[in-house]
Amino acid sequence: MFFKICLSFGLGAGVFSCVYFILSLFNAGPGRNVVLAVEFAVTLLLALFVFYPKPKKPADEFIRSGAAGSIPKIISALFYSFLVLNITAFACVYISNPHGGWDAWAIWNMRARFLFRNTGVITDIFSPALWWSHVDYPLLIPGLVARNWSYFGRETTLAPFLISFFFTFSCLGVLFLSLEILRGRKYAMASGLVLLLSPYYFYSGTTQYADVPLSFFILSSFAVMLFHDMPGYKDNRLLALSGLLASLAAWTKNEGLLFLLALGSARLVLTCLRNGYRKGLGEIILFSAGAFPVLAVIILFKNIVSMPNYFISSLDPGVFISKAFDFSRHALILKFLASELFNVKHWNLFPLLFIAGALSGKFNIRPENKPGVLAACLVFLFSGAGYYLVFLLSPFNLEWHLSSSIARLFAQFWPLVVFLAVLSAGRFHPPAYSKNPD
C-alpha cells in the first residue's frame, strides 16, 4: 500500500504534466474546468488499471514475516535521525534559496511561466533566442510547475519546491519499500540509510533540477519490473507499468530517452536468450504498450520544437573522426569519471563495496532477480556508452561540460545503484519474500 502511494506521486505527476501540455496546445487556459475534468478522467482510468482486477498473489511459501530479521536499534535510530535531518536541511535550503539553482529558474520555471501565463503562443517557449536553455528538453517539470501554479492561483516558489521535495523523498520511499518487499525490512533500512548519507543526491533535490525526478522514474521502472518476475506474481500489467514509468523518464530529460531505449533493449535481449524470441517479443510489446502514450506526447513535442538538439546539430563526419581519435579527450573523460566515482564528498561508497562483493561471488542473487540485475548492468553499459559519446563529441569546452554535468549524471542512477547493491548483498535463505507488493 505505501509503495503504491510513493509510486503514485511520480506516476500522477508525470501523466498530468503530459495532459497539461496537450491542453495548452489547444489554448485550454490553466483556469479552465476542462483541465480538471480531464485530470479526473485520467485519474479514474489509472485507478482502474492499478487496482482492478487484483492479480494473483505469490504463493504462501514465498512469503514469510521473518525474512527481515531483527533490526539493530542503532540502525533504526540512525535512519530516522538522518531522515529528519535531511527533511530539515531541505526546508532550510528553500528558505535561503527559494528559486533553486540556475537550471531551475532559467530553464524549468521559465518555461512553466510560458505555460501558466498561456498567451496563446506556446511555441514562444521554443524560440531560437532561447537556444542556451536546451529548448529541446521535455516539459515534465515545467508542465507540473505550471499546473500547480494554477492550483495556487499565482506563480509561487513553493510549487517547484514541493515538487522537488516530494520527488526526492518519494524516491527514498520507493527504494525502501521495494527492498522491504524483496529483501526484508533490515535491508530496506540499510538501503535508505545509504541514500540518506549520499550528500550530493539530496543537494540535487534542493536545487530543483530534473535529475532527481529522473532518478525516481529510473528506479521505479526497475522495481516494478522485478515485481513482475516474482514467482506467482506474473501480472502483465506490471510490464506495461514499467514501460510507462520509463517513458516518463524520457518526458523528464533527454537522458531519459536513452534510458528507455536501453531498458527496453536489455529486457528484449535477455528474455529472448532465456525464454525464446516469442516470450521476448511478447514482453517487449507489453512494455511498449505502456510506454506508447507518453512516447506519442514526446514525438508531438519534438515536432513542435523549432531548434534541433545541440549535440545532433553539431555532428559532422570530420569533427567526429577528429574528436574520436583525440586521446587527450578520452583521458580527460576517464579522469573525471574516476574522480567522481570515488568522490566521498558527493557519494556514499558502501554500494561500491556491495557490488564488488557480488562480482567476487561472496554474495548471492536469487534466480528470479537475476534477469533484472543483468538488465540493469546492460542499461548501465548502454547509457554509459551514450554519455561517453556525448562527452567525446561535445561542441562545448570539454572540461567545463564534464565539471558541470558528470555529478548530475551520477545522481540520476544513484538510487538504482543503491537498490541493486543492497539487493545483491548477503546470502539468501529461502523462502525469501517478506512482503507482498499489494
Pair 124, 227: CB distance under 8 Å:
no
Looking at residue 365, its pLDDT comes to 72
Q: Which grid coordinates are listed for 82?
A: 538522518
Round to whole Å and give the CA distance between 292 and 209: 26
- 150-188 pLDDT, tens per residue? 888 899 999 999 999 999 999 999 999 999 988 888 889
Residues of the chain with pLDDT under 50: 30, 53, 55-68, 428-432, 434
C-alpha of 359 from chain center: 25
Taking the domains of the chain in order of start, what are their residue ranges?
1-44+73-306
Is the peptide bond preceding residue 53 cis, with omega within 30 degrees of 0?
yes
**Strand, helix or coil for residue 366:** coil
Q: Which grid coordinates are listed for 369?
A: 532477480
